[in-house]
């Protein structure tokens, strides 16, 4: 499937409409790097798209379809800051301003631009309202999540320390065993030397 086919997805091709969607989704530069522009094959037999390119192609497909309701699942996650800001202002607040847009995100960077914010935790709605009225509670919620993540990181860190201590103990045991082996070897050499010396008589040099 080509980039064009992926975006049009069965809809009738309209060059002007297509070009506008490509521009809105910041795909012009990406397509210019492909040998066949929008006719480039993608997937197993073609080019491999980055996470950000996949997200923008999916967004372009949604825009091309011209639905009155769009559900966007973390569309901005794989984008760099500049591209994400361009899409927020040109697409979400511009081209789609008269559409219903439901955006799922783990970031609170653009929450102040939303008409309504719903915060969920473990499948339950814990906050619902305009950003200005619930922003303090959002920060508290994120703070508790941050503590949880911190606890997980500390647990992982403790695990790393335990592994390190085990390795050090293992290395120390190995060194002790090597030392014991070396001492035993030296002892055996000493015993052999004493055995070889048995029966020998020392002759003074003065005799000659």
**What confidence tens digit (pLDDT) does each residue in 192-207 have?**
555 555 555 444 444 3
Sign, Cα dihedral of 58, 63, 67, 73:
positive
Question: Mean pLDDT over residues 104-114, rounded?
Answer: 85
pLDDT at 150: 37
In eight-state DSSP terms, residue 111 is: G
User: In whole angstroms, how far apart are CA 32 and each of 24, 63, 64, 113, 133?
Assistant: 15, 20, 20, 32, 45
Kindly report the number of other CB atoms within 10 A of residue 31's CB atom.
Answer: 17
pLDDT at 171: 60
For residues 139 and 122, the model is more confident at: 122
Domain ranges of the chain: 3-115, 132-194
Q: Which CATH architecture has domain 3-115?
A: 3-Layer(aba) Sandwich (3.40)
pLDDT at 15: 95
Contacts of 12 (CB under 8 A, 6+ apart): none
Please state, for a pLDDT cut of 70, what percent of the chain lies above it: 67
Q: How confident is the model at residue 3 (pLDDT cuts 50, 70, 90)?
A: very high
Question: Mean pLDDT over residues 119-140, rounded?
Answer: 87
pLDDT at 139: 73
pLDDT at 183: 67
Please state, for a pLDDT cut of 90, what percent of the chain lies above it: 40
Reduced to 3 states, what is the DSSP secondary structure of residue 33?
Answer: coil
Pairwise CA distance, residues 51 & 130, whole Å: 31
Pairwise CA distance, residues 94 & 30, whole Å: 22
For residues 208 and 39, the model is more confident at: 39
- Evaluate if residue 133 carries a pLDDT over 70: yes
């Amino acid at each position: 499937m080509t980039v064009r086919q992926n975006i049009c997805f069965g809809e009738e091709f309209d060059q002007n409409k297509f070009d506008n969607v490509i521009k809105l989704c910041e795909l012009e530069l990406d397509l210019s790097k492909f040998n066949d522009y929008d006719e480039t094959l993608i997937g197993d037999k073609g080019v491999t798209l980055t996470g950000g390119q996949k997200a923008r192609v999916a967004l372009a497909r949604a825009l091309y379809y011209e639905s009155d309701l769009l559900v966007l699942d973390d569309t901005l996650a794989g984008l760099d800051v500049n591209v994400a800001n361009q899409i927020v202002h040109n697409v979400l607040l511009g081209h789609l301003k008269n559409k219903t847009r439901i955006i799922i995100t783990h970031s609170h960077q653009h929450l102040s631009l939303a008409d309504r914010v719903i915060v969920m935790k473990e499948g339950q709605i814990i906050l619902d309202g305009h950003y200005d009225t619930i922003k303090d509670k959002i920060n508290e919620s994120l703070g508790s999540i941050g503590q949880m993540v911190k606890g997980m990181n500390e647990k992982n860190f403790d695990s790393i320390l335990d592994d390190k201590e085990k390795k050090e103990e293992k290395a120390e045991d190995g060194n002790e065993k090597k030392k014991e082996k070396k001492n035993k070897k030296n002892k055996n050499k000493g015993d052999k030397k004493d055995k070889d010396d048995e029966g020998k008589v020392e002759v003074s040099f003065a005799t000659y």
